[in-house]
C-alpha cells in the first residue's frame, strides 16, 4: 500500500515539475518541415538559377497551355475553344491543361513562367515524400525508416526522368497518399478517411494524366486487397474502394465528361495498343545500379529511344535493402504486390500480362507500359525501408536509420539532381526556347495577312516550344497533342498533296517544300459560299479529299435537298473571336455557308436568333444552312459536356461538404451530451 502511494506521489510530482510547452511538436509537421527543406536543397539550382529551365514536354506542352489558360483567366475568359492549334481545338476538354486541378490554381492566378513550372514539380515531389512517409509509417516502427522510403521514392529516377512530363509526375506524387488513405480507411472503417481518400482520387484525376491515373487506381485495387487480407477487413476494403471510385468520378466530372467527348472525336478513338512502342527493356534495369549506364547523367545518351522513360536510379543502397526487406515482415507482401505485377506488365506484350490487361476497361487505350514504373518504384522504396529496419535491428545501432536516410539523400541529390541531364536543362529558357520563338514570331507576323492562319506540316522546335502558338497567339494549322481531332488530321494530311484544301482553310502563309515561308495568294476567306454542293457519305468525303476543290464544289455529308447555291451570295464578318462569330449574309437562294473551322460537337449556329443544324463539309469542317434573304448569323461554341460535368462536380462537392458539416455537428452534439451526462 505504501509503495503504491509513493508511485502515485512521484507521478503527480512529475506532472507538476515538467515544463509546459506553448506548442507541442507534431511528428507530421516535423516531417513536413524536414521534407520541405530537403526539396529546397534538391531543387535549389533549378528553382533559383536563371540559367536553368524545365525541358521537353513540360515546356513544349504544359508551359504553353498553362500560360495561355492563365492569361485567359486573368482576362476573365474561359477558353473552351482556341484557334491556336490545329485551326481550332476544344482547349479545356484536353485533360492535360489541368485548369480544374486545385494545386495548379495558385500558379495560374500568379502567372505562368518556366520557373513556376519548376515550383509545381517541387510541390508535387513534397507531396510524394509526405505520402510515402505516412504510408510507410503504417508498417514500420520508426519514422526514420519511413523517411528512407520517402527519399527512395520521391527523389527516385522516375521523378528525375519525368520532370519533363509534368502531368505524369503530378499523378505519381498522389499515389502514396491515396494508398495511405485507403489503408487507414480499411483499418479504421472511418467514413471521414474514406471521403478524404475519395477527394484525393478526384484531385489526382484532375491533374490530367489518364494513363498514370489508371495505373494508380490499379495499384489501389491491388494494395487494397493485400491490406484487407492482412487487416482481415474485407467489407471495409470494398466499401473504401467503392467510395473512392464514386467520389473520384463525381468530383472530377467537370473534366472527364468533356475529355470523353474529345477522346471520341480524336485520333485515339477506337485505337487499341495491343502492341506498344515503349515496353520496359531488361537492359534498362542496369540504371538501378549504375545511374549513368545509358549516359542520362552525362548527357551522352545511348539507350532506348525516349530517354525520359528508362532511368530508375534511386540510390546505391536501394536494391540490397529491398532484397533484405522482401524476406521479412508483413510489409513485404504489400510492397511485392506493387512491384511484381506492375513490373511484369511494364515489360509489355512479350512478357504476357500486358496481352491480358489490354482487354480490361481503359488499358487498351494507353501505350508505353514502362510508364507504370512509378508503382514499381514505390514498392521498391517500401521494401528498401523495410530492409533498413531489419539491418538496424540486427546490428543494434539506433542511429543507423538516420545515417541511411542522410546517405541515400546525398546519393540521389548528386545523381538525380546536381548532375542529371534529365532533371532540367542546363541553360536559360531564352537560349533553349525563347530565341527561336521570338525569331519565329517576328518572321511570321511580318508576312501573315491579318485574320489568317499559318501552315506548317508539323510543329517544329525551330519555332520555339511545340505549342508556341498559344504564346504568340498566331493561328496555326498544327499542334502537339495526342488527342488531335481525327477528321481534321485526315484533312490536313490530304492537304499535303492538295493545296486547294489549304486555300480553303484560310491559310495566308505556308511553309513550302524548301522550308521557307511564302504568302498564299490563293487563300480563301474563313467564311464563304461554295459554288456547288455534292452530297456524300463520310467515307466518300474522306476519299475525295485528295482531289477536292472546296471553292468550286463543297462535299456535304447527308442530304442537300432545299439548298441551291447562289453564286452571288455574300458574307461579311461583323465580329469574331475564338468562340463567337457574328456574320451578315445575303443570298438569293437557300445556300450553305462554309466555315474553315473544324467540326466538333458544341458549335451551334443561329440564323436571326433561330438555331439551325450544322453540317459536316469537306469531311472535317463546318457548314451552316442559310435561308434566302439577308440574315444575321451567329456561330458560337457551347460545351454542353462541360456544363453537365460542372453541375455534377459542384452538386457533389456541396453534398460532400454538407455531409461533413452535419457529421461534425452530430459528433459535437453527442460529445456534449456525453459530457453533460458524466
pLDDT digits (tens, 9 = 90+) for 32-66: 999 999 999 999 999 999 999 999 999 999 999 99
Which pLDDT belongs to residue 299?
A: 86
pLDDT at 14 over 50: no
Same domain, 591 and 612: yes
Domain boundary among 418, 440, 462: 418
pLDDT at 6 over 60: no
Same domain, 402 and 478: no
Q: 218: which 3 cell numbers?
A: 490499379
Which pLDDT belongs to residue 1?
A: 43
Domain boundary among 519, 543, 566: 519
Residue 309 CA to residue 370 CA, distance in Å, equals: 7
Burial level of 217, CB count in 10 A (0-12/13-18/19+)?
Answer: buried
Q: What CATH number has the domain bearing residue 549?
A: 2.60.40
Q: Tens digits of per-residue pLDDT, 229-257?
A: 999 999 999 999 999 999 999 999 999 99
Name the nearest CA neighbour of 371 among 312, 299, 295, 283.
312
Q: 297: which 3 cell numbers?
A: 547523367
Q: 177: which 3 cell numbers?
A: 497518399
Q: Tens digits of per-residue pLDDT, 403-440?
A: 999 999 999 999 999 999 999 999 999 999 999 999 99
Burial level of 402, CB count in 10 A (0-12/13-18/19+)?
Answer: middle
Place of cell 479504421: 188
Same domain, 238 and 154: yes
Residue 150 CA to residue 140 CA, distance in Å, equals: 12
Same domain, 295 and 353: yes
Please report whether residue 31 resides in a domain. no
Q: 257: which 3 cell numbers?
A: 465528361
Which pLDDT belongs to residue 367?
A: 85
Percent composition of the chain: helix, strand, coil (DSSP 3-state, to 5): 55, 10, 30
Rg of the chain on CA atoms, in Å: 29
Residue 491 CA to residue 598 CA, distance in Å, equals: 10
Same domain, 460 and 555: no
SS3 category, 308: helix
Contact 518, 512 (CB under 8 A): yes
Residue 584 CA to residue 575 CA, distance in Å, equals: 10
SS3 category, 497: coil
Which pLDDT belongs to residue 303?
A: 87
SS3 category, 653: helix
Same domain, 178 and 303: yes
Q: Confidence class of residue 329 from pLDDT cuts 50, 70 and 90?
A: confident
* 69 to 108, 374, 471, 643: CA distances (angstroms): 7, 29, 10, 18
CA 437 from centre of chain: 24
Q: Tens digits of per-residue pLDDT, 361-386?
A: 889 888 899 999 999 999 999 999 99
Please report whether residue 662 resides in a domain. no
Which pLDDT belongs to residue 668?
A: 63
Domain enclosing residue 225, as ranges: 113-263+278-418
Same domain, 489 and 533: no
Does the predicted TM-score (pTM) go above 0.85? yes
- Listed in sequence order, the residues at least 6 apart from 535 whose beta carbon sits closer than 8 Å to its beta carbon are 556, 557, 558, 559, 560
In this prediction, residues 300-321 reach a mean pLDDT of 93
Which pLDDT belongs to residue 120?
A: 98
**Ranges assigned E (strand) in 208-341:** none
pLDDT at 8 over 90: no
Q: Confidence class of residue 150 from pLDDT cuts 50, 70 and 90?
A: very high
Please report whether residue 400 resides in a domain. yes
CB 114: neighbour CB atoms within 10 A?
25
Please report whether residue 602 resides in a domain. yes
Q: Tens digits of per-residue pLDDT, 577-617?
A: 999 999 999 999 999 999 999 999 999 999 999 999 999 99
Q: Tens digits of per-residue pLDDT, 162-207?
A: 999 999 999 999 999 999 999 999 999 888 899 999 999 999 999 9
pLDDT at 5 over 80: no
Which pLDDT belongs to residue 10?
A: 39
Q: Which residues, listed in sequence order, are joined to residue 509 by a DSSP beta bridge?
A: 454, 519
Q: 29: which 3 cell numbers?
A: 509537421
SS3 category, 135: helix
Please report whether residue 389 resides in a domain. yes
Please report whether residue 358 resides in a domain. yes
Residue 335 CA to residue 152 CA, distance in Å, equals: 13
Half-sphere exposure of 552 (CA within 13 A, CB side): 4
Q: Confidence class of residue 306 from pLDDT cuts 50, 70 and 90?
A: confident
Same domain, 172 and 288: yes
Please report whether residue 24 resides in a domain. no
Mean pLDDT over each residue of the chain, to the nearest integer: 92
Domain boundary among 519, 541, 574: 519
Same domain, 307 and 189: yes
Which pLDDT belongs to residue 667?
A: 60
Report strand pairing: 603-607 vs 610-612. antiparallel
Which pLDDT belongs to residue 22?
A: 44
Specify the number of domains making up the chain: 3
Same domain, 171 and 120: yes
Q: Confidence class of residue 561 from pLDDT cuts 50, 70 and 90?
A: confident
- Listed in sequence order, the residues at least 6 apart from 113 whose beta carbon sits closer than 8 Å to its beta carbon are 67
Residue 275 CA to residue 272 CA, distance in Å, equals: 8
Same domain, 453 and 553: no
Which pLDDT belongs to residue 479?
A: 96
Q: How many residues does the chain have?
A: 678
Rounded to a whole number of angstroms, the distance between the first and last alpha carbons of the chain is 30
Please report whether residue 19 resides in a domain. no
Same domain, 405 and 434: no
Q: Tens digits of per-residue pLDDT, 86-138?
A: 999 999 999 999 999 999 999 999 999 999 999 999 999 999 999 999 999 99
Contact 471, 65 (CB under 8 A): no
- Give backbone dihedrals phi and psi of 628, rounded to 5 degrees, phi first: -65, 145
Amino acid at each position: 500500500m505504501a509503495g503504491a502511494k509513493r508511485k502515485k506521489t512521484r507521478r503527480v510530482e512529475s506532472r507538476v515539475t515538467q515544463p509546459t510547452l506553448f506548442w507541442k511538436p507534431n511528428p507530421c509537421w516535423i516531417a513536413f518541415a524536414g521534407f520541405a527543406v530537403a526539396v529546397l536543397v534538391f531543387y535549389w539550382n533549378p528553382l533559383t538559377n536563371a540559367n536553368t529551365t524545365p525541358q521537353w514536354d513540360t515546356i513544349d506542352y504544359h508551359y504553353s497551355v498553362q500560360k495561355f489558360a492563365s492569361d485567359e483567366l486573368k482576362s476573365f475568359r474561359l477558353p473552351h475553344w482556341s484557334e491556336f492549334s490545329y485551326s481550332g481545338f476544344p482547349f479545356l476538354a484536353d485533360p492535360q491543361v489541368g485548369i480544374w486541378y486545385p494545386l495548379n490554381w495558385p500558379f495560374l492566378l500568379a502567372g505562368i513562367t518556366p520557373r513556376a513550372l519548376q515550383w509545381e514539380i517541387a510541390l508535387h515531389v513534397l507531396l510524394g515524400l509526405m505520402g510515402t512517409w505516412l504510408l510507410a509509417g503504417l508498417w514500420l516502427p520508426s519514422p526514420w525508416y519511413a523517411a528512407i522510403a520517402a527519399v527512395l521514392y520521391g527523389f527516385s529516377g522516375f521523378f528525375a526522368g519525368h520532370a519533363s512530363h509534368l502531368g505524369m509526375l503530378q499523378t505519381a506524387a498522389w499515389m502514396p497518399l491515396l494508398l495511405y488513405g485507403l489503408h487507414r480507411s480499411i483499418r479504421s472503417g472511418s467514413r471521414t478517411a474514406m471521403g478524404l481518400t475519395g477527394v484525393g482520387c478526384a484531385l489526382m484525376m484532375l491533374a490530367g494524366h489518364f494513363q498514370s491515373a489508371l495505373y494508380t487506381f490499379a495499384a489501389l485495387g491491388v494494395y487494397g486487397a493485400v491490406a484487407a487480407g492482412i487487416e482481415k477487413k474485407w467489407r471495409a476494403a470494398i466499401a473504401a474502394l467503392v467510395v473512392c471510385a464514386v467520389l473520384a468520378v463525381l468530383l472530377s466530372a467537370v473534366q472527364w465528361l468533356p475529355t470523353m467527348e474529345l477522346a471520341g472525336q480524336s485520333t485515339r478513338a477506337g485505337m487499341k495498343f495491343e502492341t506498344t512502342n515503349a515496353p520496359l527493356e531488361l537492359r534498362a534495369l542496369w540504371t538501378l545500379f549504375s545511374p549513368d549506364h545509358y549516359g542520362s547523367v552525362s548527357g551522352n545518351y545511348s539507350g532506348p529511344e525516349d530517354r525520359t522513360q528508362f532511368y530508375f536510379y534511386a540510390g546505391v543502397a536501394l536494391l540490397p535493402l529491398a532484397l533484405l526487406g522482401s524476406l521479412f515482415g508483413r510489409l513485404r507482401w504489400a510492397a511485392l504486390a506493387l512491384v511484381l505485377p506492375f513490373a511484369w506488365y511494364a515489360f509489355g506484350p512479350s512478357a504476357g500480362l500486358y496481352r491480358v490487361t489490354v482487354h480490361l476497361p481503359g488499358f487498351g487505350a494507353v501505350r508505353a507500359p514502362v510508364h507504370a514504373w512509378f508503382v514499381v518504384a514505390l514498392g521498391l522504396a517500401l521494401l528498401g525501408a523495410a530492409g533498413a529496419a531489419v539491418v538496424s535491428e540486427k546490428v543494434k545501432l539506433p542511429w543507423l536509420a538516420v545515417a541511411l536516410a542522410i546517405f541515400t539523400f546525398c546519393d540521389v541529390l548528386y545523381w538525380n539532381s546536381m548532375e542529371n541531364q534529365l532533371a532540367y536543362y542546363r541553360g536559360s529558357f531564352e537560349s533553349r526556347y525563347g530565341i527561336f520563338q521570338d525569331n519565329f514570331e517576328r518572321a511570321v507576323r511580318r508576312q501573315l495577312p491579318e485574320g489568317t492562319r499559318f501552315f506548317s506540316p508539323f510543329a517544329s522546335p525551330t519555332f520555339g516550344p511545340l505549342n508556341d502558338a498559344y504564346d504568340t497567339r498566331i493561328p496555326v494549322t498544327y499542334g502537339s497533342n495526342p488527342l488531335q481531332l481525327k477528321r481534321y488530321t485526315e484533312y490536313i494530311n490530304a492537304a499535303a498533296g492538295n493545296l486547294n484544301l489549304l486555300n480553303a482553310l484560310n491559310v495566308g502563309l505556308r511553309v513550302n517544300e524548301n522550308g521557307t515561308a511564302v504568302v498564299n495568294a490563293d487563300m480563301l476567306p474563313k467564311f464563304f459560299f461554295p459554288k456547288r454542293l455534292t452530297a456524300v457519305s463520310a467515307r466518300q468525303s474522306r476519299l475525295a479529299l485528295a482531289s477536292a476543290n472546296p471553292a468550286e464544289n463543297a462535299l456535304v455529308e447527308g442530304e442537300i435537298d432545299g439548298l441551291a447555291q447562289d453564286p452571288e451570295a455574300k458574307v461579311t464578318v461583323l465580329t469574331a473571336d475564338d468562340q463567337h462569330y457574328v456574320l451578315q449574309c445575303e443570298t438569293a437562294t437557300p445556300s450553305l455557308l462554309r466555315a474553315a473551322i473544324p467540326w466538333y460537337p458544341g458549335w451551334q449556329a443561329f440564323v436571326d436568333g433561330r438555331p439551325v443544324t450544322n453540317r459536316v463539309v469537306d469531311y472535317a469542317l463546318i457548314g451552316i444552312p442559310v435561308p434566302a434573304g439577308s440574315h444575321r448569323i451567329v456561330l458560337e461554341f457551347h460545351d454542353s459536356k462541360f456544363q453537365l460535368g460542372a453541375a455534377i462536380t459542384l452538386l457533389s462537392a456541396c453534398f460532400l461538404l454538407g455531409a461533413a458539416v452535419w457529421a461534425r455537428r452530430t459528433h459535437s452534439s453527442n460529445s456534449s451530451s456525453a459530457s453533460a451526462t458524466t
